[in-house]
Amino acid sequence: WVGKRVNDLEPTSNKRPSNSAPPPTQLNKIKYSGGPQIVKKERRHSSSRFNLSKNRELQKLPALKDAPPHEREELFIQKLRQCCVLFDFISDPLSDLKFKEVKRAGLNEMVEYITHNRDVVTEAIYPEAVIMFSVNLFRTLPPSSNPTGAEFDPEEDEPTLEAAWPHLQLVYEFFLRFLESPDFQPNVAKKYIDQKFVLSLLDLFDSEDPRERDFLKTILHRIYGKFLGLRAYVRRQINNIFYRFIYETEHHNGIAELLEILGSIINGFALPLKEEHKMFLIRVLLPLHKVKSLSVYHPQLAYCVVQFLEKDSSLTEPVIVGLLKFWPKTHSPKEVMFLNELEEILDVIEPSEFVKVMEPLFRQLAKCVSSPHFQVAERALYYWNNEYIMSLISDNAAKILPIMFPALYKNSKSHWNKTIHGLIYNALKLFMEMNQKLFDDCTQQYKAEKQKGRFRMKEREEMWQKIEELARLNPQVSDNST
């Protein structure tokens, strides 16, 4: 293997600052023994099937470095055409071993040749290189589920790796070096790398093989950077993939990689943002939060959202309102992901925008603090370890403390988890130091509300006792009972 290229896409990992709280404890999945055992069917283990070439007997051609300079272009073209021959790696992997090695060696040689030599990407090479790439890689991907197998679950199952990877990898490596060559001229290549080519390339992002998706991500990013005329088309087709994923299939293997590309694209958007880009945020990125497989691509999605807010702070309100709209009701691990993303957003929020969303935002945080799932409560309480968030809370304590106090005070005594007690104590202590008088007022108000609640409960009990007494004294009831 020549090795994966280190691409220059923007980082998409969910990195926390060094002074932040440690991540919440990993959720352990409990296996229940009750009820009938569900036997999971054996999942398919097939790879892509290619239209095999009839004549697969390849003759080893002379090395490019040994050929006279005036013959190298023609020899290069011959090698590219020779590499259009497709072999069987599935039904009979041991067949044509000699000729498979000829192709592998030829691809390897061309990768080295195009990397270390100048003036080798001539005009005649462009169509041949694109054809070779298309023949080897553009194919119908195998389905992720079939009538006799269980549906592929990206969170649980191992991906099916491409059997033909020894050749596919080198084809990808060659095409990437081709695009990155100093000799590469987009004006010449645009006749061959067109909308149809891009569409076929995007179809491959649904491959289960993560190695293939990694190459595709880098290649599409290079094409986006070099072909200005294709940029709007690329964004539109990626949108279409997302729309189908959100509203129709809820299954696609390449969402994380496509979002990683978009993170880099968003980073380069000019200001002020175009309306189409804002619509992409509201209509595509936010609804992506509601898909059940969110955990597969959430770090990349959160990065894209934060990139938008760093570009245009006025988008903060619709983004937070959208997150609250899609907030998970019964899926605690997903709720922890939302809390992670929300803290990243608050790290870049402008104080003027914070004021617009703080009340609904902290009403949701109060619910999270009260969650019986300790990881949700723990993650929400870690917000009080964030200095910038605490400065925002301090500036708006008069509005925030009355919202948060009942949940904090109640759970400081009633929550089942001891760790939560300590975190709540820390939050209450910070509120007390922030504004002692306001804290005392909230305490008195809370106790008064509790007293009213006890009084109302007593009134209800007395009312029910009166109703029961009247029922006992009712002669009709007495007659029926006898």
**pLDDT tens-digit map of 4-43:** 333 444 444 444 444 444 444 444 443 434 444 444 444 4
What is residue 92's predicted lDDT score, i.e. its pLDDT?
64
Alpha helices for 326-386 (secondary structure H)? 332-348, 351-369, 374-381
Rounded distance between C-alpha atoms, residue 27 and residue 20, angstroms: 20
Q: Which residues contact 1 (CB under 8 A, 6 or more apart)?
A: 169
The pLDDT assigned to 458 comes to 84
Q: Which residues contact 171 (CB under 8 A, 6 or more apart)?
A: 83, 107, 132, 133, 136, 137
Whole-prediction pTM: 0.80
| Residue 13: predicted pLDDT | 41
Which amino acid does the sequence have at 77?
I
Residues near 79 by Cβ (< 8 Å), separated by ≥ 6? Answer: 61, 64, 106, 109, 110
What's the pLDDT tens digit per position in 33-71? Answer: 444 444 444 444 455 555 555 555 677 787 888 888 888
Mean pLDDT of the chain: 84
pLDDT tens for 111-142 read 999 999 898 999 999 999 999 999 999 988 88
